Amino acid sequence: MNDFTLWFSTGFEHILDLQGYDHICYVIVLSVLFPLSEWRKLLVLITAFTIGHSLILALSTLNIIRIPQKTIEWMIPLTILLTCVFNLSKRNKSLKAISFNYILALFFGLIHGMGFSYLLKSMLGREESIVSPLFSFNLGLEVGQLIIVAVVLLISVFLERFCRVEKKNFVFFVSSAVFGIASVMFLERI
Protein backbone atom coordinates (compact mmCIF):
# COMPACT_ATOMS: atom_id res chain seq x y z
CA MET A 1 0.00 0.00 0.00
CA ASN A 2 1.45 3.36 -0.98
CA ASP A 3 1.52 6.42 1.27
CA PHE A 4 -1.35 8.18 -0.53
CA THR A 5 -3.64 5.16 -0.13
CA LEU A 6 -2.65 4.73 3.52
CA TRP A 7 -3.37 8.35 4.46
CA PHE A 8 -6.48 8.58 2.26
CA SER A 9 -7.96 5.47 3.88
CA THR A 10 -7.04 6.78 7.34
CA GLY A 11 -8.97 10.01 6.69
CA PHE A 12 -11.86 8.10 5.11
CA GLU A 13 -12.08 5.67 8.04
CA HIS A 14 -11.69 8.50 10.57
CA ILE A 15 -14.86 10.24 9.44
CA LEU A 16 -16.90 7.05 9.02
CA ASP A 17 -15.74 5.33 12.21
CA LEU A 18 -18.85 4.57 14.25
CA GLN A 19 -16.80 4.73 17.45
CA GLY A 20 -15.98 8.35 16.59
CA TYR A 21 -19.59 9.15 15.84
CA ASP A 22 -19.16 12.76 16.91
CA HIS A 23 -17.90 13.64 13.43
CA ILE A 24 -20.77 11.77 11.79
CA CYS A 25 -23.26 13.63 14.00
CA TYR A 26 -21.71 16.96 13.08
CA VAL A 27 -21.82 16.32 9.34
CA ILE A 28 -25.43 15.13 9.65
CA VAL A 29 -26.55 18.32 11.39
CA LEU A 30 -24.61 20.43 8.89
CA SER A 31 -26.39 18.64 6.02
CA VAL A 32 -29.94 18.37 7.27
CA LEU A 33 -31.01 21.96 6.50
CA PHE A 34 -30.26 21.62 2.80
CA PRO A 35 -32.64 20.32 0.14
CA LEU A 36 -31.21 18.33 -2.76
CA SER A 37 -31.53 21.39 -5.01
CA GLU A 38 -28.99 23.24 -2.80
CA TRP A 39 -26.31 20.52 -2.99
CA ARG A 40 -23.68 22.99 -4.28
CA LYS A 41 -24.09 25.22 -1.22
CA LEU A 42 -23.88 22.15 0.98
CA LEU A 43 -20.70 21.04 -0.77
CA VAL A 44 -19.15 24.46 -0.03
CA LEU A 45 -20.24 24.17 3.62
CA ILE A 46 -18.72 20.69 4.01
CA THR A 47 -15.55 21.89 2.31
CA ALA A 48 -15.36 24.85 4.73
CA PHE A 49 -15.44 22.33 7.57
CA THR A 50 -12.67 20.31 5.91
CA ILE A 51 -10.56 23.43 5.36
CA GLY A 52 -10.81 24.30 9.05
CA HIS A 53 -10.03 20.68 9.93
CA SER A 54 -7.02 20.66 7.56
CA LEU A 55 -5.64 23.97 8.73
CA ILE A 56 -5.63 23.04 12.40
CA LEU A 57 -4.19 19.59 11.68
CA ALA A 58 -1.25 21.23 9.93
CA LEU A 59 -0.73 23.87 12.63
CA SER A 60 -0.99 21.34 15.42
CA THR A 61 1.23 18.79 13.72
CA LEU A 62 3.88 21.48 13.30
CA ASN A 63 3.46 22.37 17.02
CA ILE A 64 2.38 25.92 16.18
CA ILE A 65 -0.88 25.56 18.10
CA ARG A 66 -1.43 23.48 21.20
CA ILE A 67 -4.68 23.14 23.07
CA PRO A 68 -5.08 20.61 25.88
CA GLN A 69 -6.83 17.47 24.65
CA LYS A 70 -9.29 17.53 27.57
CA THR A 71 -10.47 20.97 26.46
CA ILE A 72 -10.94 19.84 22.86
CA GLU A 73 -12.83 16.72 23.94
CA TRP A 74 -15.71 18.71 25.48
CA MET A 75 -15.58 21.41 22.79
CA ILE A 76 -16.37 18.91 20.02
CA PRO A 77 -19.84 17.96 21.35
CA LEU A 78 -20.40 21.63 22.16
CA THR A 79 -19.97 22.46 18.44
CA ILE A 80 -22.56 19.80 17.63
CA LEU A 81 -24.97 21.18 20.23
CA LEU A 82 -24.58 24.72 18.91
CA THR A 83 -25.16 23.58 15.34
CA CYS A 84 -28.31 21.72 16.43
CA VAL A 85 -29.61 24.85 18.16
CA PHE A 86 -28.78 26.87 15.05
CA ASN A 87 -30.71 24.38 12.90
CA LEU A 88 -33.71 24.42 15.22
CA SER A 89 -33.80 28.21 15.18
CA LYS A 90 -33.42 28.43 11.38
CA ARG A 91 -35.44 25.44 10.16
CA ASN A 92 -38.28 27.63 8.83
CA LYS A 93 -36.04 30.24 7.22
CA SER A 94 -34.60 30.48 3.74
CA LEU A 95 -31.11 29.10 3.22
CA LYS A 96 -30.06 32.52 1.95
CA ALA A 97 -30.34 33.71 5.55
CA ILE A 98 -28.05 30.94 6.76
CA SER A 99 -24.69 32.12 5.38
CA PHE A 100 -23.38 32.45 8.94
CA ASN A 101 -23.37 28.64 8.96
CA TYR A 102 -20.30 28.68 6.64
CA ILE A 103 -18.28 30.66 9.17
CA LEU A 104 -19.38 28.30 11.93
CA ALA A 105 -18.43 25.26 9.85
CA LEU A 106 -14.95 26.65 9.22
CA PHE A 107 -14.44 27.52 12.90
CA PHE A 108 -15.90 24.24 14.15
CA GLY A 109 -13.67 22.39 11.66
CA LEU A 110 -10.74 23.86 13.58
CA ILE A 111 -12.03 22.34 16.81
CA HIS A 112 -12.80 18.93 15.30
CA GLY A 113 -9.41 18.85 13.59
CA MET A 114 -7.64 19.54 16.86
CA GLY A 115 -9.38 16.50 18.32
CA PHE A 116 -7.65 14.23 15.83
CA SER A 117 -4.34 16.07 15.69
CA TYR A 118 -2.85 14.29 18.70
CA LEU A 119 -3.28 10.87 17.10
CA LEU A 120 -2.18 12.15 13.71
CA LYS A 121 1.05 13.55 15.17
CA SER A 122 1.93 10.14 16.59
CA MET A 123 1.06 8.45 13.29
CA LEU A 124 3.23 10.84 11.27
CA GLY A 125 6.24 10.00 13.37
CA ARG A 126 9.32 11.26 11.60
CA GLU A 127 7.81 12.06 8.20
CA GLU A 128 10.06 14.49 6.37
CA SER A 129 7.11 16.37 4.92
CA ILE A 130 3.58 16.51 6.27
CA VAL A 131 2.11 18.00 3.07
CA SER A 132 1.39 14.76 1.22
CA PRO A 133 0.07 12.83 4.25
CA LEU A 134 -2.16 15.74 5.31
CA PHE A 135 -3.47 16.24 1.78
CA SER A 136 -4.23 12.53 1.38
CA PHE A 137 -5.80 12.30 4.83
CA ASN A 138 -8.04 15.33 4.27
CA LEU A 139 -9.05 14.13 0.82
CA GLY A 140 -10.16 10.84 2.40
CA LEU A 141 -11.96 12.82 5.09
CA GLU A 142 -13.79 14.90 2.46
CA VAL A 143 -14.89 11.80 0.51
CA GLY A 144 -16.17 10.20 3.72
CA GLN A 145 -18.09 13.35 4.60
CA LEU A 146 -19.63 13.45 1.13
CA ILE A 147 -20.91 9.90 1.63
CA ILE A 148 -22.63 11.02 4.85
CA VAL A 149 -24.05 14.06 3.04
CA ALA A 150 -25.35 11.86 0.20
CA VAL A 151 -27.08 9.55 2.67
CA VAL A 152 -28.71 12.48 4.50
CA LEU A 153 -29.89 14.02 1.20
CA LEU A 154 -31.27 10.69 -0.05
CA ILE A 155 -33.16 10.05 3.18
CA SER A 156 -34.49 13.61 3.08
CA VAL A 157 -35.67 13.26 -0.53
CA PHE A 158 -37.26 9.90 0.20
CA LEU A 159 -39.12 11.19 3.26
CA GLU A 160 -40.26 14.38 1.54
CA ARG A 161 -41.39 12.83 -1.75
CA PHE A 162 -42.68 9.42 -0.75
CA CYS A 163 -43.68 9.83 2.89
CA ARG A 164 -44.80 13.47 2.60
CA VAL A 165 -42.68 14.55 5.57
CA GLU A 166 -42.16 18.32 5.57
CA LYS A 167 -38.54 19.46 5.47
CA LYS A 168 -38.93 21.53 8.65
CA ASN A 169 -40.17 18.43 10.51
CA PHE A 170 -37.25 16.37 9.23
CA VAL A 171 -34.83 19.10 10.34
CA PHE A 172 -36.51 19.26 13.74
CA PHE A 173 -36.39 15.48 14.26
CA VAL A 174 -32.78 15.01 13.14
CA SER A 175 -31.45 18.10 14.93
CA SER A 176 -33.30 17.14 18.13
CA ALA A 177 -32.02 13.54 18.00
CA VAL A 178 -28.43 14.65 17.41
CA PHE A 179 -28.84 17.27 20.16
CA GLY A 180 -29.72 14.44 22.58
CA ILE A 181 -26.70 12.37 21.52
CA ALA A 182 -24.35 15.37 21.72
CA SER A 183 -25.74 16.33 25.15
CA VAL A 184 -24.79 12.93 26.53
CA MET A 185 -21.35 13.21 24.87
CA PHE A 186 -20.85 16.68 26.33
CA LEU A 187 -21.85 15.62 29.86
CA GLU A 188 -19.57 12.57 29.72
CA ARG A 189 -16.60 14.67 28.62
CA ILE A 190 -17.06 17.68 30.91
pLDDT at residue 56 greater than cutoff 80: yes
Task: Write the single-letter amino acid at 167.
Answer: K
pLDDT of residue 134: 86
pLDDT tens digits along 126-178: 666 778 888 898 899 999 999 999 999 999 999 999 999 999 999 999 999 99
Q: Give the three-state DSSP class for 35.
A: coil
| Consecutive H or E run containing 9 | helix 3-16
pLDDT at residue 16 greater than cutoff 70: yes
pLDDT tens digits along 72-127: 999 999 999 999 998 898 766 655 545 667 777 888 888 888 877 777 777 776 66
Contact 68, 121 (CB under 8 A): no
Question: 133 to each of 11, 49, 104, 113, how far by Cα in Å?
Answer: 10, 18, 26, 15
Taking residue 85's Cβ as centre, other Cβ atoms within 10 Å add up to 13
